[in-house]
Amino acid sequence: MRGLGRIVGLEVPIVPGATGYLDTDYGAKARAALEAFTRHAFVWVHIEAPDEAGHAGRLDQKIEAIEKIDRLVVGPLVDGLAKLDHCRILIVPDHATPVSTRKHKAMAVPFLMFDSRTERHNLIPFDERAEAEATEHESEGFKLIRRLFRE
């Protein structure tokens, strides 16, 4: 991911404690993202832990990683970004890695997009049911990115 960020011209900070695994410092990633927002209009945070837990076949670790992302990354980002005039957040896995197969699986994945200027209409929880119950779908990832950056 660091290489991809460099190729597209993003600043790629070194985040102390960011390991790319389950023991990553989630809070440090959130703090680095908020700090980066002081210089950039777009920040990408990649967290590998749920994918690694899927490869290990460890449902307990996958749940723990997702809970830590929610509590230690998403929560602080939402709180920090609330101070901005406008923000948009996209939370999406890059692919599925079911613990049952321990391999990447080509399938639709749920996404959560929040826009501070848009009233919330979707009350579906962000979990495995979301893709099936969602009223909005995006079949191609680049279209989802276009939605993120639209005015």
Q: How far apart are CA 141 and CA 70, in angstroms?
A: 22
Residue range 66-71: average pLDDT? 94
pLDDT in tens, 3-55: 999 999 999 999 999 998 999 999 999 999 999 998 998 899 999 999 999 99
Q: Alpha-carbon distance 122 to 135, whole Å?
A: 8
What domains can you pick out in the chain, each with its CATH number? Answer: 2-149 (3.40.720.10)
Average pLDDT over residues 70-86: 90
User: Alpha-carbon distance 124 to 146, whole Å?
Assistant: 22
Confirm whether pTM is higher than 0.75: yes
Residues ≥6 apart with Cβ < 8 Å to 133: 124
Q: CA-CA distance, 70 to 53, in Å (whole number)?
A: 16
Residues 6+ away with beta carbon under 8 Å from 148 = 88, 90, 113
pLDDT at 2 over 70: yes
Nearest to 62 by CA among 72, 47, 49: 49
**Per-residue pLDDT tens digits for 91-139:** 888 899 999 999 999 888 888 888 888 877 666 666 666 667 777 778 8
